A and B are shown apart, each in its own frame.
Chain A
Amino acid sequence: MSTKLLFKDIDEPGLATLDVYQRRGGYGSLRQAMGMPREAVLNELLASGLRGRGGAGFAMGKKVSFLPKGAMDIYLCCNADESEPGTFKDRELMQKNPHLLIEGIIIAAYAAGANKAFIYIRGEYQLQADILDRAVAEAERAGYLGESILGSDHALSLVVHRGAGAYICGEETALLDSLEGKRGNPRLKPPFPANQGLYQGPTLINNVGTETSTGTKLVSVSGHVRRPGNYEIELGIPSREIIYGLAGGPPKGHEIKLWFPGGSSSPVLTKDDLDLPYDFDSMAKAGSMLGSGAIIVVDETTSVVDVAYKTAYFYRHESCGKCTPCREGTNWTVKMLERMKAGEATPMDLDIMASVCTNIIGHCLCVLGDAMAMPIGSMVQKFRGEFEEYIEARRQESALGTVDPEPEPVLIQGAAA
């Protein structure tokens, strides 16, 4: 595609070093921005529709204007936790082009007036964190970070903070708790982080990706496709083109049963939805969401119950346990799915599962519970027949299937004969 902004020549050797990045015009936007007054940068961010060449970290204009005015320490956090199953686009960006992210952060910090910035990267991404560490050190030596950046009076320190393997820390307030050195539990909102965030100071939190409804979008395609990977697309192209055109579709002789359009927390879609344009509005209209932009494709060889079990198991494991609906609801759902696999479930379990899901949604501090409830609920809704067949097949295979189905007539006291 000719419209690549973020992934243009990303495999160029040495792009992770400052020399190559600068030769390609890197840090040019920063120089330009630092030459302007702060308000002008902010206006530019707002006016540009947030799709500057800076890419990562640049999509911040609107949020910046929510920060309170006045002399105080403002913090900037870049959320690179990226633990949503199926999502791996930030990884590729940080690994191959770390300076792009750093440049975006410096510009945003300048616009927001922040003097302390953090990149919260998940602990499993050791390679990427090492690359970022090196890139930050390079940028410091070159004078892009530290006291008086490029001769201006703006100072910025950037710390790469490594998480330690907790999905919940991708939630913005849990991320702040984790960054403060606590267990990563979400906080009650309001107060929103823009007012009281890190160390109780105003904080700007942004994801690595540049997500706007007008620019390009990175999507991660995985699962049953012939060429899984990250692709940069124009929003609004048909989903079929991404799954079949770019990622090659499922292996020959197989067809798609269901797919997650936006990571494992988005409600699933079926093969009938493949012709929908891939953008925010169409996905919302189809009852799903674009989410993290991670497409997971499942073909007909896998049972929907297995997919549901893997999804629910993940959220049970990652629930922080602070709010009861999520802590208990995820656990119940897993137990019911285990019963189905063991052949001990009844079709009533499907109704209980659906009611658990509706009781989670909207009743917790963060959306982790919702993120399990939405896909599971949509699977039960769209594949109920398959669930019931599965339950019956497993029941007949199991020990319960051999039990004589005709029980002894029970005499109920007081009932009419």
Chain B
Amino acid sequence: MSYQVPRYAHGSRVPGWDDSVDLSKDPAPVPDPATTYVPDELRAEIEAHMAKYPDFRSAALPALFAAQRLHGWCSPEAIDQAACVMRLTPGYLTAVATFYDMFDTEPVGRHRVYVCTNISCSLLGADALYARMHEAADGDPDFHVRHFECLGACDIAPMASVDGTYVGPIELDEVDELFDDVRNGRPPLPRKQLANRPLAETLPFEEDAE
């Protein structure tokens, strides 16, 4: 058998698990508050979160959200700043940030478009919608289009979460309008937003569904 398993330079089949760390170094310590710059509003926000919980570590998720909002993604700098305020090692927060889907540990566009491609949505054409969304974003660095596991809005399938706003059901020919809305700072497809949807029982049956 001449077939060889493709491997990365570091000898693993998994990409980059040790690319970012230098194993000869000691782990990063808790950042020194004297030398780490932290914006005042970020510090205030994280400290307010820490005060809400019996154990300050519980504020890790809110702190990472705050840092991500400020920096656009969980950059090493963002994590250092949050770690400095929380008096934790950057390693601890990195471990947490890499576990959760909503933290981006690589730079992304500022508009986050999560397309649900789970069972209920894919039954109604989510894969085509996802492909169409990518086409509409067309490499625009402002957009971060990614598929996401069930977003809990199967009643408006196929749907997407556009900067946290649930929109659906999205027809393929509405995608351009949606991106136009976002580019011009308008709320995305207001007529299709989940917030405006009444209880299902009050709606008519959909007759012309495929």
A→B interface (CB under 8 Å): 7, 10-11, 73, 82-88, 91-92, 95, 116, 122-127, 159, 161-167, 178-184, 199, 220-224, 226-231, 246-248, 251-252, 260, 264, 294, 296, 298, 302, 306-307, 310-311, 314, 317-318, 320
Contacts of A226 in B (CB 8 A): 205-207, 209
Contacts of B3 in A (CB 8 A): none
A123 B152 Cβ-Cβ under 8 A: no
Contacts of A86 in B (CB 8 A): 119-120, 150, 154
Contacts of A222 in B (CB 8 A): 120, 154-155, 157
Contacts of A116 in B (CB 8 A): 54
Q: Does B18 contact A (CB under 8 A)?
A: no
A182 B209 Cβ-Cβ under 8 A: no
How far, in angstroms, from A141 to B49 measured CA to CA in the complex? Answer: 20
Smallest CB gap from A130: residue in B: B164
Contacts of A166 in B (CB 8 A): 99-101
A180 B55 Cβ-Cβ under 8 A: yes
Q: Does B130 contact A (CB under 8 A)?
A: no
Which 4 pairs across A and B sit closest by C-beta, in order of nearness? A229-B200, A222-B154, A181-B60, A165-B101
On whether A85 and B150 interact (CB within 8 A), knowing A164-B65, A227-B205, the answer reads yes
On whether A85 and B95 interact (CB within 8 A), knowing A181-B57, A226-B205, A298-B123, the answer reads no
B200 A231 Cβ-Cβ under 8 A: yes
Q: Does B195 contact A (CB under 8 A)?
A: yes
Contacts of A223 in B (CB 8 A): 119-120, 123-124, 154, 157
On whether A122 and B152 interact (CB within 8 A), knowing A164-B102, A199-B55, A228-B200, the answer reads yes
B57 A229 Cβ-Cβ under 8 A: no
A83 B150 Cβ-Cβ under 8 A: yes
How far, in angstroms, from A189 to B142 measured CA to CA in the complex? Answer: 45
B→A interface (CB under 8 Å): 52-55, 57-62, 64-65, 95-96, 99-103, 114, 117-120, 122-124, 148-157, 161, 164-166, 194-195, 198-207, 209-210
- The contact sample of 13 A-B pairs, CB cut-off 8 A, is A7-B199, A87-B150, A123-B61, A161-B62, A165-B102, A166-B99, A178-B61, A181-B60, A199-B55, A223-B119, A229-B155, A230-B199, A296-B154
A10 B155 Cβ-Cβ under 8 A: no
B64 A164 Cβ-Cβ under 8 A: yes
A314 B149 Cβ-Cβ under 8 A: yes
On whether A165 and B148 interact (CB within 8 A), knowing A86-B119, A310-B122, the answer reads yes
How far, in angstroms, from A264 to B195 measured CA to CA in the complex? Answer: 25
B151 A124 Cβ-Cβ under 8 A: yes
How far, in angstroms, from A67 to B1 measured CA to CA in the complex? Answer: 61
